[in-house]
Chains A and B, each alone.
Chain A
């Protein structure tokens, strides 16, 4: 399903990042994608099932959560963090700022794939020379 991807801050993300970014609580607060309830039905996905989100720049597996901020059919929300930023492009339209909101994306169920921990995500995508 084609969607527009929004990212942003949540209180939970803000609180947990001040404690530790390597904690289970931090991961639960940011490795999640908030989807409109009607879109979840269309995709036949349940709360906390794994989904894949793909943009032209990357792809990531996250937990699907029912959005409490609905209705926003056709738009999904991911809190700021390393998971969301795998999906973002580094083009800045010559102003220095990448687009972190309103990014075209596609979501699909992905029950057989795992949500990577922060350590595993860093290991998989980023390497020292």
Chain B
């Protein structure tokens, strides 16, 4: 049975390109090196999938021919005066390129999912600038790794193993054994407490963490990992030091750290629930490292402060560079959300929330971003590609999205597709269709085709290309 190596995983922004896929017949039977989420996609993507285009008739979605679905979609988009074209982070750069051409043709607004994840980070990077690098540099050199508002253990399961604490770099050793033994002792303690609870019929508390002082935990040689979050996440459990920040107080904590790093006096006993003396020790560790990296997640962009939190994080790293080498990187979620930003920028000059209604690209997040357009009820049609806004947008935005004619291109049935007027089943990019995607550090990687798609199913790129041709035919009056 054929085994295909160096397959790139089409799940998260890590884009792990060391997956070994075993194919029997036309079915993937094994995905070596894959994390739990990746394995779910490689092995079970065929379950519950759409196989025929659907068109809504008399209130019900019914099977239709591809030609009819293409014609109906083109009619909706050609007739609309302000359509929104949304999604794009779970498809290839090649499909995104066609989507941009379609948006320009129909004079619509095209936006990608970064609008509801790292959009504020992009706005802040445009304001402040960013000192960043590729993940390879971090793997080999970083001796202090900070995850702020990010839980890689759950959202980017192999990030630690491939790029930071658990990886064997040229100049930095893996700390996997230490972390695993710490996690093991913590689990054992929890099991003992559960057993004691059953035996004594009363609850016992986990003892307070003995690692009260950051200095004692962070003064050893080798890689060190610090997690800052509002909850003690799985990533926090294995970190050398965990800072529990109060919800919505990240900005205060970041600015307090900036003050300490600049040797300014902080006349407070605690900031955002963190004792100042501990913060002083953490500041010393950050200054004292040889090569530091701060990864930040949507914990910063989705909470109070939004882009201002990122301003503070980028500025903290800028301050640290007066003393040492320190870099920063957003933890990008979907596998090609970076690619969506990059292709949008090539084609229009702007990374997301691009409005073509004036005949040229305009960019003003807050006005031309899709959630704002939907909140104001301004759009009159929608095209969703490789995304599920009904599951991911606030209620009012969803209500206005589904009120208007809606086209969905997706391999799976989703809450968005069941409310659509036209639904196209598409191939899985990176499994049934090849293409290009950008990793979170903006390195492009090839996505492989490892099995054949079901008969008659086209890729996102092909479906969009057919709709574009039909829109041009309608608008040209042919």
Contact = CB atoms under 8 A, between A and B. Distances in A.
B154 A9 contact: yes
A128 B390 contact: no
A126 B397 CA distance: 11
A12 B396 CA distance: 27
A85 B393 contact: yes
Contact of B390 (A82, A91, A129): A82
A92 B304 contact: no
Interface in B357-402: 365-367, 369-372, 374-375, 388, 390-399, 402
Which of A4, A97, A98 has the most B CB atoms < 10 Å from its CB? Answer: A97
A23 interface: yes
Contacts of B402: 126-128
A24 interface: no
B151 A9 contact: yes
Nearest to B38: A18
Interface stretch (A46-54, A66-74, A108-116): A66-74
Interface in B282-308: 298-299, 301-304, 306-307
Interface stretch (B213-221, B410-418, B438-446): B410-418
A125 B402 CA distance: 11
Chain A, interface size category, equals 35 or more
Contact of A58 (B151, B301, B333, B395): B395
Contacts, number: 193
A87 to B, nearest CB: 8
Nearest to B231: A69
Given A82-B391, A92-B366, A126-B402, A11 B412 contact: no
Contacts of A80: 391-392
Given A11-B37, A90-B371, A21 B391 contact: yes
B303 A99 contact: yes
A96 B304 contact: no
Interface in B394-438: 394-399, 402-404, 412-415, 418-419, 421
Interface stretch (B40-48, B140-148, B257-265, B337-345): B40-48
Which DSSP category, helix, strand, loop or mixed, fits chain A's interface? loop
Nearest to A21: B414
Interface in B189-233: 203, 230-233
Interface in A25-73: 37, 57-58, 67, 69-72
A86 B47 contact: no
A81 B403 CA distance: 20
Interface in B43-65: 44-45, 47-48, 56, 59
Contacts of A100: 116, 298, 302
B47 A20 contact: yes
A4 to B, nearest CB: 5
B453 interface: no
Nearest to A83: B391
A14 B403 CA distance: 28
Contacts of A14: 11, 36-37, 40, 154-155
Interface of B: 11, 36-37, 39-41, 44-45, 47-48, 56, 59, 115-116, 119-120, 123, 151, 153-155, 157, 203, 230-234, 236, 244, 247-248, 298-299, 301-304, 306-307, 333, 352-353, 365-367, 369-372, 374-375, 388, 390-399, 402-404, 412-415, 418-419, 421
30 contacts: A6-B231, A9-B151, A14-B36, A14-B37, A14-B155, A18-B41, A18-B44, A21-B415, A37-B203, A69-B233, A69-B234, A72-B230, A82-B390, A82-B391, A90-B371, A90-B393, A90-B395, A95-B120, A95-B369, A96-B371, A97-B306, A97-B371, A98-B393, A99-B302, A99-B304, A101-B299, A102-B303, A122-B418, A125-B399, A127-B403
Interface of A: 4, 6-11, 14-16, 18-23, 37, 57-58, 67, 69-72, 75, 77, 80-82, 85-86, 88-102, 118-119, 122, 125-129
Given A96-B370, A129-B404, 11 more contacts: A4-B247, A20-B48, A21-B415, A77-B231, A85-B391, A88-B394, A90-B375, A97-B301, A102-B303, A122-B390, A126-B402
